[in-house]
Structure 1
Amino acid sequence: MFRNREFRRFAILFLLITVVTVTLGFAINMMAGILVIVSDTTFGTLFLIFTRARYKSIAHISEQIDIVLHNTDHMYIAEIDEGELSILQSEITKMTLRIREQNEALKREKRHLADSLADIAHQLRTPLTSVTLIMSLLETNTDEDERKGLIRETEELLLQVDWLLTSLLKLSRLDAGIVEFQSEQIDINDLIYASIRPFMISMELHNIDLQIDIPKRMIINGDSSWLSEAIQNILKNCIEKVGDGGKIEIVCEDNTLFTEITIHDSGMGIGKEDLPFIFDRFYRGKNTNMAGYGIGLSLCKMIITRQGGTINAKNHPQGGAIFAIRFPK
């Protein structure tokens, strides 16, 4: 208590006032001097007792804060009945709870980052290992046709690595919240045809039947380039599933509540055990032979939900998978 500079100043000032008042009291008469001494002593004693009690309460709060800082499992600060200190105790309790929540969030982010780095390393290792093996075969293979085939295979693997790195970069930008989506009116016909354009040659080569049923002048709000990216990831997944001679159907419907785009493929559908996790990052399904890296659909969902939309996947009653994207009015 006496370590407090303000308290020492007050004590010195009180002693000076006491000396002056006692001197003046005795200058008047003996009884006045005695009365002043009793009054000053009583006031000083009560003030000292009251101040000491408050300092004990503050010291108790300090001890509780120290316990909280050094023991993450202890989050309780004993309640105090006094008015101002009770308010202080309440604010400190709120602060400790916020610190606890922030610490838990940081721990989750660290675990997520560690898992993501491990997944990224695994995803990159697979194609790079294949490239390394192919390069060793190129060194020993003298057949020109086989060497050309190996070079083409290497080019395809490097394209996969490039797509993988690009997708991971986009995911990291979305995670960091540094992507600013544009809000503009988008004609859904323009959006769909811009999305399917990169796949037209591939679908023609694999004889995939593409059917599109979208009314004219149907408008949604969003970022056209990012939404096109999302739809392309769905189409890429559908093309891989339907194989040669398959069918993909894109339908758009509008009502007073939302605008819905559905993409239905004629593939084998989605396993029941995979449906709850189909949009999880790096999830490739229970079937370990599945192609892909488990990134496209995760990126797709993040793009759509960040722009106020929703996406879900299910199996169509007539076979195949169906993806439904909704944008509220």
Structure 2
Amino acid sequence: MKRISHKIWIGTMFVVILLCIMIWGFQQYFLEDMYIRKLVSTVSADVFKVLDGFDALNPDDTYFELDALAYRRNISVEVVNKDGKTIYVTGENPGTQFEDVEAQETFHVVLIAMKGDPGGISTVDKGSDTTAGTGTGGSSSGGDVQVTVEGQGTGGGQGTGDGQGTGDGQGTGDGQGTGTGDGQGSGDGQGTGDGPGTGEPGGSEDPQGGESSKDSQFMPEGEIRENIIEDALEGNEDAEEVLHPKYGFRLLVLSIPFNSKQGDPYVALAAIPMAQIDDIIGLVSMALLISIPIILIIAGLASYAIASTISRPIRRLSTAAEAIGEGDLEARAEVRSKDEVGSLGGSFNNMAEQLQKADSMKREFVENVSHELRTPISVIRGYAETIRDVTGENKEKRNAQLNVISNEASRLGIMVSDILDYSRMTTYGIELEVTEFDMSDLIQDLTTKYQVLVKDSKISVGYESAEQIRVKGDRTRLEQAIENLMRNAINYSPDGGEVKVLVTDTGDKIRVEVRDQGVGIPEEELPMIWDRYYRTKGIKKRKIYGSGLGLSIVKNILEAHKALYGADSVPGEGTTFWFELIKANL
């Protein structure tokens, strides 16, 4: 497992599989309970909303709404009074809530037989009332075709009436209606059942007539039923899972207490079939069983594609880094994305460019330093041999040659000192010894020193400074920085030029400027002159002092003092290097 794409893919798939397991576990152990709680809450609220303010003297409208709710919710509701008697069960006494609905007269024609000529067919219709009586028509007198017509009614009794066709037959019939259950009978006969039928509806305690059955329609008598009703009458809703006493399937029975408009306490027992809950949970389980493998396949393909997309630019970065490590500084990483990886690729390429530039400068620096060192070493060796072999006895010539040897040795010392200083600064940083001193005195001392060093050239060195300008800083390091700026100005000044150092009081700061009258620096190269090993192109300097690291050393010293610094140049007129320090009395 060496490739990062494989690690990303495996990690992503592990998370996806873990999520699938968690979803499946949630469905197995929590979903059913949550669904039941939600269903119980909803059904309880709906039933209570229908029965709240129940009018026990005129309950028909409430029973109608209760039947509609039971049909819509696929539940059964049993209304129980405070004595535990059932006064109503949804769907068990449709005559109570639908007794005012007029029955629609219907009939259908039954063709029993046909004889003779089709043109001789005649039809006898038998009307029907709300009974189920039948009528028989006679034969047609206009031919040999006989038609029998049956009229059918609805209701509990047998209708009567005569159906007469165009033939001779006449249908008659009378019947007797019967009543069943605890309700009332209607028709010409006597109702039968558990109680005698009457022409009047039952009382408010039992609208269905007679005494209530002691057995619930879906919850048999027993301790569980008694307890759940007692708790409900005390104001505590409850839910119990029971088996249907007749059919044996599971029911979830809710007890919902409410009061009638007359102030009497009642209990509604709402039975929810567990089959509908099991069906929904089963559908969810089936959906998960089907979807989880699909999710895993899609997640696997998508995560592998994403992992490859992420790892591809990283592999390119790795390849480019290996090439640079082997010395190919021109190698670059081809990263085109605009995300974090693309930003990393851009930073890497920028680093590679800087390394290439630094390597180029380093090579150029080594060449320049080698050349600079070779010249004074050659001069020192040549004059030393001359003194030894030729002018040893000539004091005047010997002294002149010894001066040359001394100057060249000074150049070597400066180069070596700059190289060592820059190496220490970049490796360990700069430790400042901050003191308070007079900047004017420092500038005057340096100007006097360089006036002696350049006395043989045609360059003049001067300064302008106010008196007693005191600053806080490391005097030695600031002297080194100003000396490097002056040396740089002298090296690039033409014969007859002037180098001037100015110290100005700007109020809260002092500004030090070193000006020369050289050929200037192109504007596009100004930001790069502070880099190590950088040498302005196309400009020849005087062979006096320098190592090529002077401005880099100045930059490090001024940044350690948190000073502002910069350079302004006008090609053909000269360059001004400057920096600003806070005054000591602030």
TM-score by length of 2: 0.40
**C-alpha contact (below 8 Å) 1:189/1:216 kept by paired residues:** yes
| Matching residue's letter, 2:390 | N
Q: Does 1:224 align with 2:475?
A: yes
What pairs up with 1:153-302 in 2 under 5 angstroms?
153-176=404-427, 178-182=429-433, 184-196=435-447, 198=449, 213-235=464-486, 250-256=501-507, 258-262=509-513, 269-272=517-520, 281=534, 286-287=539-540, 290-293=543-546, 295=548, 298=551, 301-302=554-555
**C-alpha contact (below 8 Å) 1:189/1:214 kept by paired residues:** yes
Tell me the CA shift for residue 7 of structure 1.
Answer: 4.3
Tell me how many residue pairs correspond in the alignment. 299
When structure 1 is superposed on structure 2, of 159-168 and 305-314 the one drifting more is: 305-314
Find the residue that maps to 1:111 and give its secondary structure: helix
| Matching residue's letter, 1:165 | V
Give the 3 Å change call, closer, same or farther, for CA 68–124 of structure 1 in structure 2: same
Give the 3 Å change call, closer, same or farther, for CA 139–48 of structure 1 in structure 2: same
Deviations 1:254-302 (A, max 9, x none): 224752334568xxx3135789979675559745665434648635753
Q: Does 1:74 align with 2:327?
A: no
What pairs up with 1:134-153 in 2 under 5 angstroms?
134-138=383-387, 140-141=389-390, 143-145=392-394, 146-147=397-398, 149-153=400-404
Q: Distance in 2 between matches of 1:55 and 1:247?
A: 71
Tell me the CA shift for residue 124 of structure 1.
Answer: 0.9
Name the residue aligned to 2:292: 44
Could you say which structure has the larger radius of gyration? 2
**C-alpha contact (below 8 Å) 2:436/2:471 kept by paired residues:** yes
Q: Distance in 2 between matches of 1:323 and 1:53?
A: 64
Q: Distance in 2 between matches of 1:204 and 1:121?
A: 27
Deviations 1:26-72 (A, max 9, x none): xxxxx99x979845641332232232233332343223432444363
Give the 3 Å change call, closer, same or farther, for CA 159–165 of structure 1 in structure 2: same
Name the residue aligned to 2:357: 108
Cα RMSD (Å): 5.0
Name the residue aligned to 2:301: 53
Give the 3 Å change call, closer, same or farther, for CA 291–274 of structure 1 in structure 2: farther
Tell me the CA shift for residue 226 of structure 1.
Answer: 1.5
Tell me the CA shift for residue 74 of structure 1.
Answer: 1.4
Give the 3 Å change call, closer, same or farther, for CA 166–284 of structure 1 in structure 2: farther
**C-alpha contact (below 8 Å) 2:430/2:557 kept by paired residues:** no
- Mind listing any 5+ residue stretches in structure 2 that lack a counterpart? 1-5, 29-277, 321-331
Q: Distance in 1 between matches of 2:305 and 2:453?
A: 76
Q: Distance in 2 between matches of 1:150 and 1:98?
A: 55
RCO greater where, 1 or 2, for CA within 8 Å and sep 6 or more? 1
Name the residue aligned to 2:342: 93
**C-alpha contact (below 8 Å) 2:515/2:576 kept by paired residues:** yes
Q: Distance in 1 between matches of 2:402 and 2:471?
A: 44
Name the residue aligned to 1:310: 565
**C-alpha contact (below 8 Å) 2:437/2:475 kept by paired residues:** yes
Deviations 1:242-264 (A, max 9, x none): 999x9876543222475233456
Q: Distance in 2 between matches of 1:255 and 1:302?
A: 22
Tell me the CA shift for residue 165 of structure 1.
Answer: 1.0
**C-alpha contact (below 8 Å) 2:316/2:333 kept by paired residues:** no
Find the residue that maps to 2:430 and give its secondary structure: coil
| Matching residue's letter, 1:228 | E
Find the residue that maps to 2:471 and give its secondary structure: strand
